[in-house]
A and B are shown apart, each in its own frame.
Chain A
């Protein structure tokens, strides 16, 4: 038998266990009549015109270039103005090294049975022309891949060598192939085998890709030169497939997208951005119209959504985004630096960073209104009592400066966006 003091202590220990074993479950009444007076939330919406909150700071581009774009673009008088050519170099080896029957062989006299340029097309980012013929030309003039432009084959330091033919001096046509939108995402261009055999990185040119039809714009994800080789020292019927990746690859285009005065721009091949100041210190109606009452301040409400409402305008000719373009707002702390104002952090849900593009505010071609949220930034500004903010509107998903979510086309918006507040008044339940 346990001493009585031990048993008493055991009882003490049992009581909390008993309490812990039971769970609380607060009963829930359903229905408006059960809410106390003043206990039902009221949500209101206010849309403020630009003149009331916005201070334009500038529209800039050139933060990126065609060389840092994540795809290649080929265009022929697209929308009457845009031309773009892809310039590439392939290094077809002088000597073929292969293994057969466990023996490694070297062959400098191999022959090419077939040569094809296999082109992966980003069909969503390409114009839906009825037919687009991709042409591969031999470049007839040497160029500097690091500095080449539409008019200059070399634009390095004191050396400025113009193309004989702007956009790349074309030599012989190596091959061509038609492509119809929605039929395939691959174009296979048969090439002249003798020309392919002669491809070297130090050769006079390389390959120029163009489209034959005016009014076409094609976006290319990747290319590879696929060769079917027959060794001279191999066993009978030996065929080897060799995939040659381009040594250098890029595209040149003309003209640059124009920055129109009185518009907001974001995204595009040159990574346009718009800088502006935003005054969040707006008086909010304390009740829904037609009732009139005193205005309330931002700190006196719960912000359900704060967003910029952007009205899309036509993009610069040739540079319409053919696919959804992510719009993001970034804080800037030194707006006086203008185009060099460094970006701060993403205004919005920080958990968005790294998420799928569909999670961002997307401008989709054909949209008549785009809403870019800045709710969390506004909530933070209210907490810090710093309601004058400066932002940069970018047309790409974070992290900024990467190729993530960039489009060739640029989004352009009316310079008079609106600011939308959806807010809920604090409830004041009455005492019984």
Chain B
């Protein structure tokens, strides 16, 4: 137990030390409450973004029941380099890259039936910036100004959960999430020949939500899971120089996930999941920025463990994903964007399976012509899971 905590903490500290400020994963980070991020590890990404449904006990931010029956303490950390380029009408032509850490999660078995998990996961990304060159008229004549608005930050989830193996076939889980984070909005105006003006506002986000999960394993060849999160509200508080400016409450959307996996043969597992998030509950609250809709997604993937290298089994994964995104890119007369992706991944165990390194590459397309933006992207995922045995 102590060893896994130490290893996990070391990995987390090392990653965070090098993390630095993250850039955006999408231009859509500038819309609504930001670009939704899923706290998934690289194995799930390789399977198309599978949110739940795997048979064996694994740490999961989505389904708190997923960890039930885990044989030893585990710590998983994921890192996600990303690059995208976006284009669209109105002079939209931008690209960005970032390295993000969507998941830090530890699971500790208390008994053969009960496990406790605690973790930190990404939720909403608000990294983006806008600029505009213009001119203003002073008593001395027209002077050029260059304005830049930078939003840096987002919302994350701090989660604690319990997983309980009720029977050999049925496991249950509950979780509580504290929403936390902040976005610093800074504005810079450069005026030719004059001093630059800078001001900033910090928007802090807070809230709580709860979650429940279930995993059902009627036999060794099939497993089904489901999870539900939601409740509470997201409170945004804006302040500058310790002066409170604005406070706004948003409904915390309900999210439902279902997933299943089946073993086609000894070496092949087929998995699929679907999720739905009730973002439309924020439609009125976000009416000024284009509203919000409910967003559903489906994923499917296959994992093959028959390949080996250096006498080690190397699991290979393929997956695909289709998702609706909740916030419009443009005005109310445009369609909501979607996200499509295909992915591939593999895994490598170390130290007598004490550590597992997974990697995934994802090629995706966001937006759509009716949505007013096209944003193809590459997303890599790496995750390290360390077991305390």
Residues of A within 8 A of B (CB): 4-5, 7-8, 11-13, 15-20, 22-37, 39-41, 43, 45, 47, 302-305, 375-376, 379, 420, 422-424, 426-432
Residues of B within 8 A of A16 (CB): 14-15, 17-18
Check A27 against B185 for contact (C-beta < 8 Å). no
Residues of B within 8 A of A427 (CB): 149, 185, 187, 199, 201
Distance of B288 from chain A, by nearest CB (Å): 7
Interface residue from A43, A45, A428 paired with B201 (Cβ < 8 Å): A428
Interface residue from B11, B23, B91, B199 paired with A25 (Cβ < 8 Å): B23
Residues of A within 8 A of B286 (CB): 432
A29-B27 contact, Cβ under 8 Å, with A18-B382, A43-B191, A305-B195? yes
When C-beta atoms are compared, the residue in chain A nearest to B32 turns out to be: A432
Q: How many A-B residue pairs have CB under 8 A?
A: 198
Q: Once bound together, how far apart are the Cα atoms of A303 and B134, in whole Å?
A: 19
A26-B24 contact, Cβ under 8 Å, with A12-B7, A18-B382, A34-B30? yes
Q: Once bound together, how far apart are the Cα atoms of A34 and B150, in whole Å?
A: 11
Check B130 against A18 for contact (C-beta < 8 Å). no
Q: Does B251 contact A (CB under 8 A)?
A: no
Given A25-B96, A431-B236: 11 more A-B contacts, CB < 8 Å? A7-B351, A8-B355, A25-B95, A26-B127, A31-B132, A40-B132, A40-B147, A302-B195, A428-B246, A431-B238, A431-B248
Residues of B within 8 A of A376 (CB): 195
Check B132 against A35 for contact (C-beta < 8 Å). yes
Check A426 against B240 for contact (C-beta < 8 Å). yes
Interface string of B28-65 (1 = CB under 8 A from A): 00101100000000000000000000000000000000
Check B99 against A8 for contact (C-beta < 8 Å). no
A29-B129 contact, Cβ under 8 Å, with A7-B350, A8-B355, A41-B197? yes
Check A41 against B129 for contact (C-beta < 8 Å). no
Distance of A342 from chain B, by nearest CB (Å): 28
Interface residue from B203, B382, B384 paired with A12 (Cβ < 8 Å): B384
Q: Once bound together, how far apart are the Cα atoms of A215 and B369, in whole Å?
A: 80
Residues of A within 8 A of B128 (CB): 26-27, 29
Interface string of B74-115 (1 = CB under 8 A from A): 000101010010100011111111110000000000000000
When C-beta atoms are compared, the residue in chain B nearest to A25 turns out to be: B97
**Can you report 5 residue pairs joining A to B where beta carbons are below 8 Å apart?**
A8-B351, A24-B99, A26-B23, A426-B240, A429-B149
Q: Does B131 contact A (CB under 8 A)?
A: yes
Residues of B within 8 A of A22 (CB): 81, 97-99
Count residues on chain B whose CB falls below 8 Å from chain A CBs: 77
Check A4 against B130 for contact (C-beta < 8 Å). no
Distance of A322 from chain B, by nearest CB (Å): 26
Check B30 against A431 for contact (C-beta < 8 Å). no
Q: Once bound together, how far apart are the Cα atoms of A47 and B139, in whole Å?
A: 9
Interface residue from A7, A27, A41 paired with B23 (Cβ < 8 Å): A27
Chain B, 172-223, CB within 8 A of any chain A CB: 185, 187, 189, 191, 194-199, 201, 203
Residues of B within 8 A of A420 (CB): 139
A26-B129 contact, Cβ under 8 Å, with A45-B138, A45-B139, A427-B201? yes
Q: Once bound together, how far apart are the Cα atoms of A3 and B91, in whole Å?
A: 56
Distance of A287 from chain B, by nearest CB (Å): 14
Residues of B within 8 A of A18 (CB): 79, 81, 382
Interface string of B359-385 (1 = CB under 8 A from A): 000000000000000000000001010
Chain B, 139-187, CB within 8 A of any chain A CB: 139, 145, 147, 149-150, 152, 185, 187
Q: Once bound together, how far apart are the Cα atoms of A20 and B238, in whole Å?
A: 32
Check A15 against B79 for contact (C-beta < 8 Å). yes
A304-B194 contact, Cβ under 8 Å, with A24-B20, A25-B96, A45-B139? yes
Q: Once bound together, how far apart are the Cα atoms of A39 and B185, in whole Å?
A: 9
Q: Once bound together, how far apart are the Cα atoms of A22 and B187, in whole Å?
A: 26
Q: Does B306 contact A (CB under 8 A)?
A: no
Q: Does B325 contact A (CB under 8 A)?
A: no
| 5 nearest CB pairs, A to B | A4-B351, A424-B197, A27-B96, A302-B197, A24-B23
Residues of A within 8 A of B77 (CB): 15
Residues of B within 8 A of A7 (CB): 350-351, 355
Check B384 against A11 for contact (C-beta < 8 Å). yes
Residues of A within 8 A of B18 (CB): 16-17, 19-20
A15-B14 contact, Cβ under 8 Å, with A4-B350, A24-B97, A43-B197? yes
